[in-house]
Structure 1
C-alpha cells in the first residue's frame, strides 16, 4: 500500500473536494483520482461517494480514515523522534585528574571543537577523583574517555600516553633550600615533608625513589592530591616532592629540579575497549592520538 496514496486519501477526506485536495498536495487532479481509485481497488471498498461537486466518505471510508489517521500519527511521531535524536548534539563524557583538567584537557577540547565540523558537546565530570576512581568510573561506563595515570595492565582498558611531568622538589620561598637551582633527593631527608597518602598512585613511586637514596622522609602530612600537597607547602608546612604541574607557577613556592634520581610521570588517555564510541568520540580519540604521537611510555 502506497504511503503517498494514504496521505492523499487523508487530505481528500478532510477537504471533500478533488480540486482543493489536489492543490493542497501540489499534484494534478487526475493523479489524485487515479491514486484514490487504485486505493479503493486494492481494498475492494468504495471510500468516497460523489455529492454534487464534492465527495463524502462512505461508512467504510470513515472507518478507514480513522485507521489511517491513527497509523500516520504514530508513523509521523516516530519519524519526528528519530529526526530529533539524529539532530541532537553528540555528548562526549570526559573525566580527568585535576592537574590535567585545569589546562590540558580544556585546551585539547577547544582545539578539537575549532577543527571539528560535528555538532558535539563535551560533558566534564564534577568528580575530582584519583586515577583508580576514574578508571573505576570508566569501567562502569560513566565516562567515554578519561585522562589519568595508568592504574593496571588489564586488557579491557586501552591506554595512550598523552603527557608527562618530571618530579621536582618544592619549598616555601623562605626555606633554606629555596636558594638551590637543582637538588638530589637525598638532600631533602633532613627536612619535614608533605607526602602523598597511600591512596595516591605517586606514593609507592616516591617511596621507591627515596629507598634508592637510603631513607624515607619525615612526613608531617600525607595528602592524596597533588594540588593539596602544593598548597600546604606554599603555606609553610614543609617541603614536598611533586610533579612539575602548571599550578606551581601560581603559588609562592620555589621549584627545584631533581638531579638524582630522575623520574617522569606519564599521563594517559584511557578508553574502555568494549564501549561503544560515537563517531564524534572516535574523531576526538583520533585527534588526541595525532597530536600526541611523540609521547612514549
Structure 2
C-alpha cells in the first residue's frame, strides 16, 4: 500500500464518482479504478459499492476513510515539521558557556535574539570551564561552546572569534598602587604591569581559562618577572571575591567591571606585551553541523560584528 492509494481513495470517496475523481486527479478513469481494485485486494474487502450513478462507501470503507484521513494528516504534519527541522526552525540546540564569557552583554543578547528568531527550538544551556567545554564540543555532547580563548586550536573544532575586550587589573580598595584620588567613571586609574612584580595573583586555573592564563604569564615575563600565584580557582567571579577579601590581585575581562564596586577598584594595565585582551570565542564542530547550530553561528557572527562596530 502506498500513500498515493490513500489519496486516490479519499478523492473517490469525496466525489462519490470515479470519473469526477479522475478529473480532479488529472488522470484517466480506468487507471484510477484499477488502483482502487488493487487497494481493495490488498485490504481484503470492498471499499465502495458501485452503481450506475456513482459509488458510495461500504461499512469497511467508512472506517477506512477515517483512518486514511488520519494517516495522510499525520504524514502532512510530519513533512512540515521535518522541513522546518531541515531549516533549523525546530529541534534542539545545546550551548555551554564559561562564566566569564556569559558575563559579557553580547551573550544574553545572542540568546534573546535566537529565541525570538527561532521560538520552536529548545535551548539546552549549561556552564563549565574552557577545558570542559572544549571536550564536550569535540565529543559532540554539546553543539556550541562559548568561552574566552583556548590555549591552542583543538583538533576537530572550528573557532569563531566574535570580539576582543580589554583586560583590567582588580585591586582591593586602599591598595598601595592606587592613586589617592580615584577617577570617576568612565575613567579608570592605570597601573604599570611591572609594578605588580611583588603582588600575589589570583587566577583561574590554566585548564579553566588556558588562553588568558598563558597570555598573562607571558606578559608578566616580558615585563621582567614571574607572577607569584597565591590561588588558582575554578570561576572568574571568585577571583574578584578573593581580591575584595584582600587575598591578592587579579586580572579579569572589562565586562566584569560591575562586581564588588564598593570593595575593589578596576584599573587599566600599562606596559603589557603582548597587550592583554579577553576574546569571546565560539567553538563548534568542523563538519556535519545541524541546521540549528548553523543558524546560531550565523547570528552570533552578525551580532559580534555589530558589537565591534558599536564599540569602535
What TM-score, normalized by structure 1, do the two folds share?
A: 0.72
> Could you report, residue by residue, the CA deviation over 1:150-191 in whole angstroms, capped at 9, with x for unpaired residues?
343246322121121323221111222232721111211223
Question: Structure 1 residues 247 and 65, CA, compared in 2 at 3 Å: closer, same or farther?
Answer: same
**Alignment of 1:95 onto 2:117:** no
Alignment match, 1:220 = 230
> Could you report, residue by residue, the CA deviation over 1:178-222 in whole angstroms, capped at 9, with x for unpaired residues?
327211112112233323333231333222222222223333322
Q: What value does the CA root-mean-square deviation take over the aligned residues? A: 3.9
Aligned length: 271
State the alpha-carbon separation in 2 of the partners of residues 204 and 85 from structure 1.
46
State the alpha-carbon separation in 2 of the partners of residues 37 and 271 from structure 1.
52
Question: Structure 1 residues 211 and 35, CA, compared in 2 at 3 Å: closer, same or farther?
Answer: same
Contact kept in structure 1, 2:143 and 2:284, CA below 8 Å: yes
Alignment match, 1:253 = 264
User: What is the correspondence of 1:17-32 to structure 2 with a 5 Å cutoff?
Assistant: 25=14, 31=20
Alignment match, 1:185 = 193
Q: Secondary structure at the match of 1:194?
A: strand
Contact kept in structure 2, 1:5 and 1:39, CA below 8 Å: no
State the alpha-carbon separation in 2 of the partners of residues 247 and 177 from structure 1.
21
Question: Structure 1 residues 126 and 153, CA, compared in 2 at 3 Å: closer, same or farther?
Answer: closer
Gaps of 5+ in 2: 23-28, 181-188
Alignment match, 1:284 = 296
User: What is the correspondence of 1:201-220 to structure 2 with a 5 Å cutoff?
Assistant: 201=210, 202-220=212-230
**Alignment of 1:38 onto 2:33:** yes
Alignment match, 2:276 = 263
Question: Structure 1 residues 32 and 222, CA, compared in 2 at 3 Å: closer, same or farther?
Answer: closer
**Alignment of 1:144 onto 2:138:** no
Shift of residue 66 of structure 1? Answer: 8.6
Contact kept in structure 2, 1:131 and 1:151, CA below 8 Å: no
Alignment match, 2:163 = 163
Question: Structure 1 residues 32 and 184, CA, compared in 2 at 3 Å: closer, same or farther?
Answer: closer
Shift of residue 272 of structure 1? Answer: 0.8
Q: Secondary structure at the match of 2:265?
A: strand
State the alpha-carbon separation in 2 of the partners of residues 182 and 151 from structure 1.
27
Shift of residue 289 of structure 1? Answer: 2.4
Contact kept in structure 2, 1:167 and 1:264, CA below 8 Å: yes
**Alignment of 1:130 onto 2:139:** no
Which residue of 85, 108, 111 corresponds with 1:109? 111
Question: Structure 1 residues 197 and 41, CA, compared in 2 at 3 Å: closer, same or farther?
Answer: closer
Alignment match, 2:175 = 175
Question: Structure 1 residues 56 and 265, CA, compared in 2 at 3 Å: closer, same or farther?
Answer: closer
Contact kept in structure 2, 1:157 and 1:273, CA below 8 Å: yes
Bigger shift: residues 188-197 or 31-40:
31-40
Alignment match, 2:286 = 273
State the alpha-carbon separation in 2 of the partners of residues 56 and 161 from structure 1.
66
Shift of residue 89 of structure 1? Answer: 3.2
Shift of residue 258 of structure 1? Answer: 0.8
Question: Structure 1 residues 65 and 293, CA, compared in 2 at 3 Å: closer, same or farther?
Answer: same
Contact kept in structure 2, 1:192 and 1:217, CA below 8 Å: yes
**Alignment of 1:243 onto 2:252:** yes
Structure having the higher Rg? 1
